[in-house]
Amino acid sequence: MSKLKILIPLVIILIIPVKGSEIQECGICHPDVAEKFVKSLHHTNRGIIEGWNQGAGKDLNIPVPKKCLSCHIENCSTCHRVHKTFPNMSVCIECHSKRIGVNYIGYTAGMKEKMNPDIHYKHNMTCFDCHDIGEIHGDGRSYSSADLAVKVRCEDCHMNPNTIVKGMRPKQYDPSVLAHSIHKDRISCYGCHAGWYQTCVNCHVENLKVESKTTDEFHLIKGPDGKLYPACRMFVFYGDKSSYVWCLIHPHTIMEGKRCEECHNKEEEVFGAVGRVVPPGSSFAEPPSSLVVRVPKVGIKIDTEILVGIIIGGTLIGICIHYIKRKVTVGGE
């Protein structure tokens, strides 16, 4: 009978939903996870708070609007709705519904406009195929932004031939590709492979509504690591005050690389940003004055403008030599 008294509560715990469970309660069986989770960005919302304080909060001199913190995960049951059941990707999208989550599956905010989904989604990959449990539950450290908390990088799969994801071998980075040899140390993977992203136009703090959104803009700024990343402009209004900053972002809309002319024929549009940039360490990117090709194995760099000049000059010289030879030959006859 004494054994039954112990077994019955355990069975009940295992089969009932964890509705309203506090982290401390779940921590009785999962102490390590609970201890780390209370420091995670999902629980603290520190990323949102720090981002706001660096941007609009600094300009408007007001704290984060409470509605912006509504995604705060208070209880384990927010994601784990049934005990011992792993949440599916739809749970992630419920919170990440303004940009990353819905963009990944090919929609704009509110699932309103159908767009091209991320190539990883087309291969049936979910959030959990890239983001491990340490990034979701936290690793015990307190981070100020997702840029620091998220450890996964494109290189983890695409520069590792031994990687297998869902039975697939990811396509490997090829340094002999011209775009790669030119941009390797200058542009992030996102800079060329982000297909599109959302920019919200004129956000009003009083009601937390935006006038419109667009997916037609594409800008690059220099990140803390010196490489170029996509960025969106943020106009925020509160009463008679306004804030205008540029934010570095990591679009979850990865596709085939952009065509050269999408950036190099639109320097003013892509690189013409003005204002203030967040996070700290980011800065505006200068338009490229020229392209430099690194010749693999040889170890030399060739300025393409000079290269084109040499090719054109050589061609003209060749035509002249050919013309002179013909004149001499015809004259000799």
Q: State pLDDT tens for residues 117-174.
A: 999 999 999 999 999 999 999 999 999 999 999 999 999 999 999 999 999 999 999 9
**The pLDDT of residue 330:** 59
* Domain spans of the chain, in order of start: 18-284
Cis check: omega of the bond before 63, within 30 degrees of 0 = no
- Lookup result for tokens 């690389």: 257
Backbone angles phi, psi at 278, to 5 degrees: -125, 150
47: its two tokens: 């990323």
Structure token pair of residue 87: 């949440």
Q: By the 8 A CB rule, do 175 and 183 touch?
A: no
Instruction: Identify the bridge partners of residue 132 per DSSP, sorted by sequence position.
Output: none
| CA proximity to 257, closest of 202, 165, 315, 183 | 183
The model's pTM is 0.79
The pLDDT assigned to 325 comes to 76
The SS3 call for residue 194 is strand
Quickly tell me which residue has 């932004």 as its tokens. Answer: 145
Dihedral (Cα; 101, 105, 108, 114), 10-degree rounding: -170
Q: Which pLDDT tens digit goes with each residue over 1-12?
A: 555 555 544 444
Q: Could you tell me the CA-to-CA distances from 287 to 25, 38, 220, 265, 272 in Å, in that order?
A: 55, 43, 10, 11, 8
pLDDT over 80 (residue 305):
no
Q: What is the pLDDT of residues 246-296, one digit of tens each?
A: 999 999 999 999 999 899 888 889 998 888 999 888 999 888 765 555 555
Q: How far apart are CA 245 and CA 274, in angstroms?
A: 9
| Strand-pair partners of 246 | 233, 277
Alpha helices per DSSP H over 16-139: 23-26, 31-37, 41-44, 46-54, 56-60, 89-95, 100-104, 119-122, 133-137
In sequence order, the 6+-apart residues with CB closer than 8 A to the CB of 102 are 93, 96, 108, 109, 110, 111
Which is it for the CA torsion 209, 215, 219, 223, positive or negative?
Answer: positive
Task: Look at residue 20 in the predicted model and tell me its pLDDT.
Answer: 40
Closest CA to 44 of 182, 145, 181: 145
Please spell the DSSP secondary structure of 217-243, one letter per residue. Answer: --EEEE-TTSSEEEEEEEEEEETTEEE
Instruction: Please name the residues in contact with 21: beta carbons below 8 A apart, sequence gap of 6 or more.
Output: 75, 76, 77
Q: Could you tell me which residues come within 8 angstroms of residue 67 by beta carbon, excluding any fewer than 6 positions away? A: 208
pLDDT tens profile 209-231: 999 999 999 999 999 999 999 99
Give me the count of residues in the chain.
333
CA distance 105 to 255: 12
Distance CA 248, CA 218 (A): 12
pLDDT in tens, 50-104: 999 999 999 999 999 988 888 788 889 989 988 878 899 999 999 999 899 999 9
Distance CA 101, CA 162 (A): 28
d(CA 258, CA 90): 29
From the list 141, 128, 132, 133, the residue with the least C-alpha distance to 35 is: 141
